[in-house]
C-alpha cells in the first residue's frame, strides 16, 4: 500500500516537472495510476498527496496556464526544484561524510544525511577518489537530549514566538515565559535559546535543560524579527561569562594533595604545620568557591577571609546532617 | 546502522528515490553493493526501489514509462530518468542541519581548508534554505583546547606517540602517560583524545582541557589490533558490571549535577528536589560533590558512601576547632 503511494507520488513529480503548463487535478488523475473512481475519495487523497509533496520541500505551484482556464492547475518549476550544479573535491566529500554524522538526534541526523545524499547525487566526482585523502581526525558529535530543542529549532526556523515554563538555577518555582526566539546556541555542550522576553521587554538567554513542560507556539510563523546586529553567540557568551577573580583567600593545604590549588595558587611550606603548605589564591564567586573548597575535605583549611571560612564550615555541617 | 530492516514511510522512500535516481544517473554505471551502502539500505531494499522507479507509468496524454534502468551483475545503470535526473533542492532543515554541523567541525579545528570550501559551496547551493542556520551556533569548550587539538591532530596524522600530563579533578590527581592516538572526538561540547594508553594498557579518553601538556614523541604510535574505539554514539561513558550503583537526592542548588553526569534515571521530587541513580567505577568524586554541596546532596545508596561523606565532613570540621 505504501509502495503504491510512493509510486503515485513519484509519478506526480515526474509528470509535473515535465509539463510547462499547469495541469488540473483531473488531468493529473488521468495520467497517474492509483486514484479511486469516487470523486470525494479522490479529492481527499489528492489533498493529502499535495501536502506530502510540499512537506518534502517540492515546490508545487498553483495557477492557470491561460486566463480562460476554469480550474486551478499545478506544476513544478524545474528551476525551483533542481539543486544547482555542484562539484565536490575528494577532500570535501570526506568532510561531508564526517559532517553528516555529527547530529545524534534522529530528526536532524536524518536531515543532515538526506542533505549529504543529495549533494553526493548532484556531484559527478568519482567516488573512489575519496579513499585517497584521509578523513579529518576530528569527529564532532552533537546531542540534543533536551525535549525543548525540537520545538525551539522549529520556532527559530519559522520565526515564531513561543511560550514555556522555566526554572531558574537553584530555585524550585517555575515561571511562565513568552519569548521571541532569535537563535539557539550550543555552548560547552549545553543548549541555550536567546531572544526577546516579552514580559521583561528585554533580551534574555535561557538554558534548555531549565525549560520544563512543553514549548508551545505563541504567535504566527514569520512574526519574529531578529533585530539587525544581534549576535546570538555573543549573547550566550556574555550570559555565561566567567566573573573576574576579585577576591583572595589564604588556605592551609596538605603539601601532597590539592593539586589544582597548588597549580593555580602561590604556595610556601607552613612553618607551624609540618606537611602543610600555606597558599594564597584568587577567586570570583564566594558562595561557589566555599563549596569547591569544602569538596577537598580534610586536605584544605580556610584561614582567611572569615566569611569564606564560615561558609566552608556551614557547607561541611550541611554534609554532616 | 545501515542494513537493518526498519519501516520506511512513503514520504521517506520518495525522498530517497529522488536522490537515488540522480545518484545513479550522474555516474552512468555504479555498483549495487556500493550504492546500497551509500544510501544505508540493504541490496534487497535497493532493488525494490529500482523496481518501483522502473514501474512508474504515465497514462495520459499517451502512455509512456519515464524511467528506464537496468541492474545486472551487481551493477546499475539508468538510461533514462527524464525530469528527475537532478536531485531536489535542499530543504530548510537539511541545509541548516548540515551547515551547523560543518561550522561545528570548523570550530573544532577540523581540516580548515576543505571545511571552508564545502561550507561556501553548500551555502551557495542552498540559497534561502540555509538561512536559519545563521541562528544556530555551536561553541566548543576552552580556547586553549583548540591549539591542543591542532597539535594532537598533527600527531595523529603523522602516526606519532604522545606524552601527556593529565589532571583528573574528581580524584585531584596528576598523572603522566604515553598514549598512541586513535582519533579526536568532540562530544557534548568538549574535545577528547581517544587513544591506546600504554600505562593503563587500554583504550582511554582524555579531555583536552585537562591535558596539562602534550609532547609529540619521535616514536611511531602502535595501536594494538585489539584496541576497539568506544561507541561514543551510545554515550561517552558506558557502565561496566563492576560499577557501583549510586543514588542521590539533589536539592535546587545541586540539580545541575543531574545534567553534568550521565544518570540512569532522574525523578522529580517535591520542592524542586531530584532523585538520580548513576553508576561509576570510582566514588571519590561523589564524596567530593557531596561535600561541595552540603545539605543539597543526600547520599541514598550505597549506605557506606553516606557514612564516608559524614566521616569526611567531620574530619574536615575537626580542623577548624
pLDDT tens digits, A177-214? 999 999 999 988 889 999 999 989 999 999 998 898 99
- B13 vs chain A: nearest CA distance in angstroms? 7
pLDDT band at A132 (very low <50, low <70, confident <90, very high): very low
B321 touches chain A (CB under 8 A): no
Asked if A297's CB is within 8 angstroms of B92's CB, the reply is no
Nearest to residue A302, comparing CAs of A250, A246, A247, A255?
Answer: A250
Cell 582524555, located at residue: B206
Q: What is the pLDDT of residue B232?
A: 67
Nearest to B10 among A2, A81, A156 (CB): A2
Kindly provide the b/e burial profile for residues B160-197, where b requires at least 16 CB atoms within 10 angstroms of the residue's own CB: bbbebebbbeeebeeeebbbbbbbbbbbbbbbbbbbbb
Higher pLDDT, A139 or A248: A248
Nearest to A95 among B11, B53, B115 (CB): B115
Least confident of A119-133, B189-203, B258-272: A119-133
Q: Answer yes or no: is pLDDT of A85 > 90.
A: no
Give the predicted TM-score (pTM) of the model.
0.77
> Which of A295-309, B111-125, B251-265 ranks highest by mean pLDDT?
A295-309
> Which chain B residues contact residue A57 at CB under 8 A?
88-92, 94, 129
A240 touches chain B (CB under 8 A): no
pLDDT tens-digit readout, B88-105: 999 989 999 999 999 988
Q: What is the pLDDT of residue B1?
A: 39
Peptide bond into B302 cis (omega under 30): yes
Query: Mean per-residue pLDDT for A19-37?
Result: 92
> Which chain A residues contact residue B97 at CB under 8 A?
103, 108-109, 111-112, 115
∠ CA A68-A79-A226, rounded to 5°: 100
Q: Answer yes or no: is pLDDT of A131 > 60.
A: no
Q: Answer yes or no: is pLDDT of B234 > 80.
A: no
pLDDT band at B11 (very low <50, low <70, confident <90, very high): confident
Query: Mean per-residue pLDDT for B59-67?
Result: 84
- Which chain B residue lies closest to A261 (C-alpha atoms)? B172
Q: What is the pLDDT of residue B61?
A: 77
pLDDT tens-digit readout, B160-175: 999 999 988 777 888 9
Q: Are strands B136-139 and A174-187 parallel, antiparallel or unpaired?
A: parallel
A36 touches chain B (CB under 8 A): no
Interface test with B, best of A10, A236, A242, A300 (most B CBs within 10 A): A10
3-state secondary structure of B319: coil
Peptide bond into B61 cis (omega under 30): yes
Element (H, E) at B99: helix B92-107
Would you tell me how many other CB atoms lie within 10 Å of the CB of residue A278? 18
Asked if B135's CB is within 8 angstroms of A183's CB, the reply is yes
pLDDT tens-digit readout, B271-321: 889 999 998 888 888 999 999 999 999 999 899 999 999 999 999 999 998
- B274 vs chain A: nearest CA distance in angstroms? 11
Beta bridge partners of B206: B193
Cα B167 to Cα A244: distance, rounded to the nearest angstrom: 24
**What's the alpha-carbon Rg for chain A, to the nearest Å?**
30
CA distances A43 to A38, A39, A40, A130, B293, Å, are: 9, 6, 5, 48, 64
Asked if B59's CB is within 8 angstroms of A30's CB, the reply is yes
- Which chain B residue lies closest to A291 (C-alpha atoms)? B292
B294 touches chain A (CB under 8 A): yes
Cell 545563521, located at residue: B134
Within 61-80 of B, beta carbons closer than 8 Å to A belong to 61, 66-67
A131 touches chain B (CB under 8 A): no
Cα B79 to Cα B28: distance, rounded to the nearest angstrom: 8
Asked if B132's CB is within 8 angstroms of A313's CB, the reply is no
Beta bridge partners of A60: A76
Hey, what's the cell of B273?
A: 528536589
Asked if A3's CB is within 8 angstroms of B52's CB, the reply is yes
Hey, what's the cell of A78?
A: 524545474
| Torsion sign across C-alpha atoms A154, A159, A164, A166 | positive
> Which chain B residues contact residue A14 at CB under 8 A?
56, 58, 66-67, 82-84
Q: Answer yes or no: is pLDDT of A129 > 60.
A: no
Asked if A88's CB is within 8 angstroms of B138's CB, the reply is no
Q: Answer yes or no: is pLDDT of B228 > 90.
A: no
Hey, what's the cell of B25?
A: 544517473
* Cβ B192 vs Cβ B207: under 8 Å: yes
pLDDT tens-digit readout, A211-244: 989 999 999 999 999 998 888 888 888 887 777 7
- Which chain A residue lies closest to B252 (C-alpha atoms)? A170
Nearest to A233 among B87, B139, B153 (CB): B139
Q: pLDDT above 70 covers what percent of chain A?
A: 95
**Helix spans in chain A (H):** 2-18, 25-31, 39-55, 78-81, 90-99, 106-122, 149-158, 232-239, 259-264, 286-294, 306-320
B137 touches chain A (CB under 8 A): yes
Q: In the 8-state DSSP scheme, what is residue B283?
A: -
When the pLDDT of each residue in chain B is averaged and rounded to a whole number, the result is 86
Q: In the 8-state DSSP scheme, what is residue B294?
A: G
Cα B203 to Cα B224: distance, rounded to the nearest angstrom: 10
B150 touches chain A (CB under 8 A): no
pLDDT band at A130 (very low <50, low <70, confident <90, very high): very low
B172 touches chain A (CB under 8 A): yes
Pairs of CB atoms within 8 A across A/B: 377
Nearest to A118 among B57, B87, B156 (CB): B87
Nearest to B55 among A7, A89, A309 (CB): A7
B164 touches chain A (CB under 8 A): no
Asked if A115's CB is within 8 angstroms of B139's CB, the reply is no
Asked if B184's CB is within 8 angstroms of A57's CB, the reply is no
Beta bridge partners of A175: A166
Nearest to residue B74, comparing CAs of B44, B36, B33?
Answer: B33
Cα B166 to Cα B209: distance, rounded to the nearest angstrom: 9
Q: What is the pLDDT of residue B191?
A: 85
Nearest to residue A111, comparing CAs of A56, A160, A42?
Answer: A56
Asked if B27's CB is within 8 angstroms of A127's CB, the reply is yes
B110 touches chain A (CB under 8 A): yes
ipTM score here?
A: 0.79
Nearest to residue A14, comparing CAs of B36, B70, A23?
Answer: A23
Nearest to residue A292, comparing CAs of B319, B288, B172?
Answer: B288
Cα A283 to Cα A297: distance, rounded to the nearest angstrom: 18
| Torsion sign across C-alpha atoms B239, B245, B250, B254 | negative
Beta bridge partners of B275: B249, B267
Sheet strands (E) in A124-274 = 138-140, 162-167, 174-187, 190-197, 202-207, 211-217, 247-254, 266-269
Amino acid at each position: 500500500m505504501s509502495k503504491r503511494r510512493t509510486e503515485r507520488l513519484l509519478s506526480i513529480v515526474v509528470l509535473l516537472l515535465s509539463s510547462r503548463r499547469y495541469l488540473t487535478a483531473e488531468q493529473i488523475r488521468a495520467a497517474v495510476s492509483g486514484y479511486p473512481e469516487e470523486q470525494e475519495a479522490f479529492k481527499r487523497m489528492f489533498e493529502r498527496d499535495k501536502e506530502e509533496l510540499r512537506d518534502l520541500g517540492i515546490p508545487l505551484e498553483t495557477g492557470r496556464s491561460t486566463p480562460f482556464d476554469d480550474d486551478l492547475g499545478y506544476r513544478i518549476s524545474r528551476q525551483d526544484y533542481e539543486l544547482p550544479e555542484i562539484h565536490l573535491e575528494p577532500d570535501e566529500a570526506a568532510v561531508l561524510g564526517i559532517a553528516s554524522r555529527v547530529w545524534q538526534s534522529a530528526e536532524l541526523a536524518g536531515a543532515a544525511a538526506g542533505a549529504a545524499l543529495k549533494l553526493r547525487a548532484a556531484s559527478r566526482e568519482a567516488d573512489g577518489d575519496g579513499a585517497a585523502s584521509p578523513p579529518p581526525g576530528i569527529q564532532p558529535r552533537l546531542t540534543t537530549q533536551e525535549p525543548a530543542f525540537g520545538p525551539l529549532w522549529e520556532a527559530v526556523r519559522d520565526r515564531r514566538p513561543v511560550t514555556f515554563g522555566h526554572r531558574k538555577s537553584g530555585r524550585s518555582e517555575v515561571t511562565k515565559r513568552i519569548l521571541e526566539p532569535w537563535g539557539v546556541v550550543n555552548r560547552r555542550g549545553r543548549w541555550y535559546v536567546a531572544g526577546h522576553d516579552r514580559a521583561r521587554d528585554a533580551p534574555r538567554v535561557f538554558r534548555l535543560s531549565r525549560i520544563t513542560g512543553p514549548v508551545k507556539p505563541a504567535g504566527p510563523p514569520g512574526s519574529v524579527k531578529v533585530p539587525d546586529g544581534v549576535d546570538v553567540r555573543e549573547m550566550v557568551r556574555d550570559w555565561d561569562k566567567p566573573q573576574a577573580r576579585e577576591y583572595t583567600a589564604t588556605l592551609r593545604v596538605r603539601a601532597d594533595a590539592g593539586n589544582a590549588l597548588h597549580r593555580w595558587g602561590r604556595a610556601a611550606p607552613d612553618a607551624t604545620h609540618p606537611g602543610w603548605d600555606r597558599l594564597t589564591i584568587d577567586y570570583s564567586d564566594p558562595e561557589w568557591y566555599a563549596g569547591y573548597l569544602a569538596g577537598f575535605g580534610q586536605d584544605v583549611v580556610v584561614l582567611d577571609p572569615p566569611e569564606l571560612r564560615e561558609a566552608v564550615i556551614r557547607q561541611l555541617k550541611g554534609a554532616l546532617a | 546502522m545501515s542494513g537493518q530492516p526498519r519501516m520506511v514511510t512513503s514520504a521517506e522512500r520518495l525522498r530517497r528515490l529522488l536522490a537515488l535516481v540522480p545518484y545513479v544517473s550522474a555516474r552512468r554505471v555504479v555498483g549495487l553493493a556500493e550504492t546500497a551502502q551509500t544510501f544505508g539500505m540493504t541490496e534487497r531494499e535497493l532493488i525494490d526501489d529500482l523496481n518501483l522507479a522502473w514501474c512508474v507509468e504515465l497514462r495520459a496524454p499517451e502512455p509512456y514509462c519515464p524511467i528506464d534502468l537496468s541492474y545486472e551483475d551487481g551493477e546499475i545503470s539508468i538510461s533514462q530518468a527524464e525530469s528527475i535526473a537532478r536531485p531536489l533542492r535542499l530543504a530548510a532543515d537539511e541545509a541548516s542541519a548540515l551547515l551547523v554541523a560543518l561550522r561545528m567541525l570548523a570550530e573544532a579545528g577540523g581540516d580548515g581548508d576543505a571545511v571552508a570550501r564545502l561550507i561556501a559551496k553548500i551555502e551557495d547551493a542552498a540559497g534561502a534554505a540555509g538561512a536559519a542556520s545563521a541562528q544556530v551556533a555551536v561553541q566548543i569548550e576552552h580556547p586553549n583546547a583548540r591549539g591542543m587539538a591542532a597539535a594532537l591532530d598533527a600527531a595523529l596524522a603523522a602516526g606519532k606517540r604522545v606524552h601527556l600530563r593529565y589532571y583528573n579533578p574528581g580524584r585531584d590527581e596528576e598523572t603522566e602517560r604515553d598514549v598512541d592516538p586513535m582519533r579526536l572526538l568532540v562530544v557534548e561540547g568538549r574535545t577528547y583524545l581517544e587513544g591506546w594508553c600504554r600505562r593503563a594498557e587500554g583504550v582511554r579518553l582524555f579531555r583536552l582541557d585537562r591535558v596539562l601538556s602534550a609532547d609529540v614523541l619521535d616514536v611511531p604510535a602502535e595501536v594494538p589490533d585489539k584496541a576497539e574505539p568506544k561507541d561514543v554514539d551510545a554515550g561517552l561513558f558506558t557502565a561496566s558490571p563492576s560499577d557501583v550503583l549510586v543514588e542521590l537526592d539533589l536539592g535546587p542548588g545541586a540539580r545541575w549535577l543531574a545534567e553534568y553526569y550521565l544518570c540512569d534515571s532522574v525523578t522529580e521530587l517535591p520542592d524542586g528536589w531530584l532523585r538520580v541513580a548513576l553508576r561509576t567505577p570510582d566514588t571519590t568524586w561523589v564524596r567530593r560533590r557531596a561535600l561541595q554541596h552540603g545539605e543539597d546532596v543526600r547520599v541514598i545508596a550505597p549506605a557506606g558512601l553516606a557514612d564516608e561523606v559524614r566521616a569526611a565532613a567531620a574530619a574536615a570540621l575537626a580542623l577548624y576547632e
